[in-house]
Copies of this chain bind each other. A is one copy, B any other.
Amino acid sequence: MKQKLIFTNIVGPAIDDLVESLGAPQAVVVADTNTAHFVLPILQNDSKAVASAKVITIKSGDANKNLESLTDLWKQLSDYEATRSTVVINLGGGVVSDMGGFAAATFKRGMRCINVPTTVLAAVDASVGGKTGINFAGYKNQIGTFTEPDAAVISSIFFNTLPPQEIMSGYAEMLKHALLENQEILDKLLNYNPVYPLLDTAGLLPLIEYSIGVKARIVEADLTEKGIRKALNLGHTAGHAFESIAYRRRSPIAHGYAVAWGLVVALVMSHLELGFPSDTLHSFASYVRKNYGVFDITCDDYPAIVEAMRHDKKNVTADNITFTLLEAVGKPQIDCVVSPEQIGAALDIYRDLMGL
């Protein structure tokens, strides 16, 4: 793994050390409208590199992760006469690191890049692993690269002002990593809630560090997603389909919540197809139901769900819909072909478990 991971709550000096060790003569901060307002001023006080950096602000929200914003980003890098040695510091959530990372990967064929995630989801997911890109022609992440940043600085100091839903959203990806790793860490996560009874970002940081370690090991084995990296897609096939159904109902759901519900569906399938233990399935489903609520579907939604799965680039091989499933906690199987009938059977049980 090329990417350096630094876990610290003393963020400014950590950034300065990195910029110096990269030999970067200048820095450019990419922030979104929120982080430019709330987070940037803190770091400008704490880091010489950030204080003297040019700041490029992009509009927040996934809808702005598009070619127009990217072109503006490239243009500003050109006007600033950035070079290959200039370091891009992505300060924000996944939209910032995806698009800032893609700009850094492609401007003059590649600049230096550091991710400073400001959400739990970005910390455990987008900031590590080198997926960069933009949405294009109606498809998510249609254009992009696999380019690991030089480093990520992971801190919990930015999480104190996040809404609880945002933190739980990131926690769902941590649950996924635990399912891919071992029972002990899974039990720990299922006996904990980072926002109840009190927001506990200090307790969250070591769990995040562990969680990123799981992802980093998988990415190291398969950066360009030709094999085992697909394990990270666990829960996302059903999750993306739920997101797409919710979008059509005009009541979008948070990505992490969709993943939490999608993980329940994946564990049901894992139980049916590969004998995943039923007690773990039940304790997982009850944690999700209690802490994420339920995503409401009826059997009338099944055809649309199957159709959405068929249009997801990651899980279609020839004409088959494929899933990442688990034989047991820590034992993923990628590319499992599941028929529409089997998907329907799994959704039936999901509804039972969710009390629908």
Q: Which of B133, B137, B144 contacts A78 (CB 8 A)?
A: B137
Chain copies in the assembled complex = 2
**CB <8 Å contact, B109 and A145:** yes
Shortest CB–CB separation between residue A318 and chain B, in angstroms?
A: 8
**CB <8 Å contact, B107 and A142:** yes
Residues of B within 8 A of A144 (CB): 106, 108-109
Q: Per-residue CB proximity of A147-172 to B under 8 Å, as 1/0?
A: 00000000000000000000000000
Residues of B within 8 A of A110 (CB): 145-146, 224
**CB <8 Å contact, A139 and B78:** yes
**CB <8 Å contact, B83 and A109:** no
**CB <8 Å contact, B141 and A109:** yes
Q: Which of B74, B83, B138, B139 contacts A313 (CB 8 A)?
A: B83
Is A38 located at the chain interface by the 8 A CB criterion? no
Please give the number of chain A residues whose Cβ is less than 8 angstroms from any Cβ of chain B in the complex.
29
Shortest CB–CB separation between residue A106 and chain B, in angstroms?
A: 5
**CB <8 Å contact, A67 and B78:** no
Is A331 located at the chain interface by the 8 A CB criterion? no
Known contacts A74-B137, A137-B74; A143/B107 CB under 8 A: yes
Q: Which of B75, B143, B145 contacts A74 (CB 8 A)?
A: B143
Residues of B within 8 A of A347 (CB): none
Nearest 5 CB-CB pairs, A to B? A78-B137, A109-B144, A106-B143, A109-B146, A109-B145
In the assembled complex, the Cα of A146 lies from the Cα of B144 at a distance in Å of 14
**CB <8 Å contact, A105 and B137:** no
In the assembled complex, the Cα of A143 lies from the Cα of B71 at a distance in Å of 10
Residues of B within 8 A of A107 (CB): 142-143
Is A247 located at the chain interface by the 8 A CB criterion? no
User: Which chain B residue lies CB-closest to A225?
Assistant: B109
Interface residues of A in 59-106 (CB under 8 A from B): 67, 71, 74-75, 78-79, 83-84, 105-106
| 23 A-B residue pairs with CB within 8 Å | A67-B71, A74-B142, A74-B143, A75-B137, A78-B139, A79-B137, A84-B313, A106-B133, A106-B143, A107-B142, A107-B143, A108-B143, A108-B144, A109-B131, A109-B141, A109-B144, A109-B145, A109-B146, A109-B224, A109-B225, A110-B145, A110-B224, A145-B145
